[in-house]
Amino acid sequence: MDKRVKKSIEFIFSVCNSADRKYKVLTVCGLQIRFRRIFYFFENMFGLNEQILERVESISRKLSMPDSIFQFDDVRFYVPYYPIDFIQRHIVNTKTFFEQEILESLDKYIPENSVIFDIGANIGNHSIYWGIRRNVSKIYAFEPVRDTFEILKRNIELNGLKDKVVLHNIGLSDRKGEAGYVDYRMENIGSTHLKPLEEIGGGGGDMQLCTLDDMTFPTNRIDFIKIDVESMEILLLKGASKFFKHYKPSYIFIEIEEVDNEQEVDEILLRYGYIMLRQFEHHNFLYTLAKE
């Protein structure tokens, strides 16, 4: 924890040992809570004092925003799963966009008035950055998970971007159908994995699937596409051959979560006329149209 932050919050809560050193004493607004100390070695190794302070600081932040709306600069985020969810926790604790350094690195590829597809929009982190910081003209944002989509919708409204961002509560694949959850974790809702219903078997699907080829959009151009679909990128690309041939977006920014998928993604995009321009951290790759 930053020393300045720690110093500023110690008047509200602090952690120390009892006089006989048998207890860890947490003081919150004058109220003392004692925890029996058992594993002294692990306290030192894992910095339990720091962990306790950080957790209490998170609780304090949560209590300070009862409507779950957090603001930094001119940006507002609805963060109902703070501090559990990884991305929401990052936004609140750092007072910045998630992956801000990557977003800033992409600025030169996204001039003002660009048309963007944000596929796998999560709670709207990237769409809001581009809508406010880059002043793009239109964003088509896709988020298949209903609960996450409702948070996305709220965040777009909070930032006055309803006229700029077109929302789609649908998953993109290589065919129409239904999909179900494979891995939904509250600590990172952005990592939710989907699979077509026939691959997981049984029951009704929680989400609808469609292909980019089957959809129509009221735009003559697409400048930039971001794809973050948790291992469904190959299926998405296979269902988008006509889409890429028609729109020829200038750049494709894609997360390839599994290393085994990198070669196939590269081969598909090469067939569509794209070559890799740059590799970023967290398995993110930027592709651009090859010169004819």
Cis amide linkage into residue 83, ω under 30° from 0: yes
Is the model more confident about 239 or about 291? 239
Phi (first) and psi of residue 141, to 5 degrees: -110, 130
Spans of all domains in the chain? 3-64, 97-289
Q: Residue 105: is its pLDDT beyond 90?
A: yes
What mean pLDDT do residues 40-59 have? 55
**Predicted local confidence at residue 149, as pLDDT:** 96
242 near 213, Cβ under 8 Å? yes
**Predicted local confidence at residue 246, as pLDDT:** 97
What mean pLDDT do residues 275-288 have? 95
Beta-bridged to residue 172, according to DSSP, are 210
pTM of the model: 0.78
**Predicted local confidence at residue 6, as pLDDT:** 43
pLDDT-based confidence at 178, cuts 50/70/90?
confident
**Predicted local confidence at residue 7, as pLDDT:** 41
- 3 state SS of 229: coil
- Residues 6 or more apart whose Cβ sits within 8 Å of residue 230: 120, 190, 191, 192, 193, 194, 257
> What's the rounded Cα separation, in Å, for the pair 214 and 191?
26
Is the model more confident about 177 or about 33? 177
Tokens (6 digits) for 134: 């880059």
CATH number listed for the domain at residues 97-289: 3.40.50.150
pLDDT-based confidence at 4, cuts 50/70/90?
very low
Question: Where is average pLDDT lowest: 40-54, 239-253, 255-269?
Answer: 40-54
Is the model more confident about 81 or about 14? 81
**Predicted local confidence at residue 231, as pLDDT:** 84
- 3 state SS of 45: helix
Beta-bridged to residue 118, according to DSSP, are 141, 226
According to DSSP, residue 191 is labeled G
211 near 239, Cβ under 8 Å? yes
